[in-house]
Amino acid sequence: MELIRLHKHKIDSVLRRHPWVFSGAIASDVSHLLDGDLVQVTDHKGLFLAAGHFQHGTIAVRLLNYDEPEIDQEFFNKKLINSVNLRLKINLLDDSNSIVRLVHGEGDSLPGLIVDFYTSIAVVQCHSIGMYKQLDLIVEGLKNALGDRLVAVYSKSSETLPGRFEIEDGYVFGAVPTPHIAVERGIRYAVDWVTGQKTGFFIDQRENRTLLGRYAVGKRVLNTFCYSGGFSLAALQAGALEVHSLDSSKKAIVLTDANIELNHFESRHKSIVADAMEYMKDLPEAYDIIVLDPPAFAKHREKRHKAIQGYKRLNAHAIRQIKPGGLIFTFSCSQVVDKYLFNNTITAAAIEAGRSIRILEQLHQPADHPINIYHPEGEYLKGLVIQVD
């Protein structure tokens, strides 16, 4: 491995086990290094600190191992067994639930790697070229950790790695047709990781979908930004009186309608193709519950202010029009908008709408999306359940 030496006063974050080394912390010449190279990171005296993947950019090294420099098959076997065992311990892989995130990057001490699991298929998404270069080791590690549970592995990294790399998506072990039926808390979904967004499904809202079900019995629900209809299906399964699913994408509505039909909920459901921000300005019907789960309004700090204004407008529209005593499930998945800023934004929306608000629940990502305590940036999903008087 190549050695990367840090500036004398830039080692504290590594000693605190933060998994990123920023380019400004590096004292040695790295111009000759290739993206994805395995490197050892040392202090200014040459003392080993950690090992990881190098990549030219702001985040120069993603750290994998603080104990020894080896990043080999045994390393991936141990890490992946540990990740799978956690999901088994919290009962996220059984007959009623076969949709689970197996690896959540830094939260599972594998920065740059996402692995989602649908019944028997693992979808691997790499966010660093170093992880992509070690795809063979990852696949073997998944086989070792999952055994007979694993039928196929699909690699889907073309949209998550920088454009200068030539990445092809496809099966790297086995193959199955899509869409593929998988189950979340007894609800059947047709998941398509080949053409769908991300790895094919938004697993991180599982617990929040279940919570919505507890509130939705006998209620009329509007689910905005519905994508494949997860919140809609959870509400219908629990006994919602009626659910309307809204998305600006006709393709998303097709997915939602297919999942509604798969679970035989057609009689209590209606789909709407419309821009959510415009539609929410003047709702044609009254609802007991409104779900606001937009895509990330900001992925970079320079766009954070614009994102906050978007969240404020969207929530103000919903607060103005919800029934008295109604509930709003509101979310942000923008990493650059932390939970305190998001809560303040909802407060500003309530002030603008001129109605009284009570917070009933504070929501976040589930246990299969763990947060590395040394990497607070991993806490990206935040939400509130508010009651509007």
pLDDT tens figures, 222-277: 999 999 999 999 999 999 999 999 999 999 999 999 999 999 999 999 999 999 99
pLDDT of residue 163: 77
List, by residue range, all CATH 3.30.750.80 domains of the chain: 73-191
CA 364 – CA 335 distance, rounded (Å) = 12
CA 255 – CA 245 distance, rounded (Å) = 11
Strands (E), 167-318: 170-173, 180-184, 187-191, 220-224, 242-247, 269-273, 289-292
Query: Is there a cis peptide before residue 19, judged by omega within 30 degrees of 0?
Result: no
Continuous segment of H or E residues that includes residue 349: helix 339-353
List, by residue range, all CATH 2.30.130.10 domains of the chain: 2-65
- Which residues lie below 8 Å from residue 57, measured CB to CB, with a gap of 6+? 23, 162
3-state secondary structure of 198: coil
> Which residue type does 292 have?
L
Report pLDDT digits (tens) over 326-377: 999 999 998 888 899 999 999 999 999 999 999 999 999 999 999 999 999 9
pLDDT of residue 66: 96
User: What's the CATH class of domain 2-65?
Assistant: mainly beta
pLDDT bin (cut points 50, 70, 90) of residue 298 is low
Catalytic residues: 333
Tokens coding 387: 């009651």
List, by residue range, all CATH 3.40.50.150 domains of the chain: 203-388
Angle, vertex CA 108, rays to CA 96 and CA 25, nearest 5: 155
- Which residues lie below 8 Å from residue 65, measured CB to CB, with a gap of 6+? 50, 51, 52, 71, 75
pLDDT of residue 23: 97
- CATH superfamily, with its number, for domain 203-388: Vaccinia Virus protein VP39 (3.40.50.150)
Report pLDDT digits (tens) over 41-59: 999 999 999 999 999 999 9
Q: What would be the CATH architecture of the domain defined by 73-191?
A: 2-Layer Sandwich (3.30)
Report pLDDT digits (tens) over 183-234: 999 999 999 999 999 999 999 999 999 999 999 999 999 999 999 999 999 9
pLDDT of residue 334: 87
Average pLDDT over residues 118-123: 97
Q: How far apart are the first and last CA of the chain?
A: 62
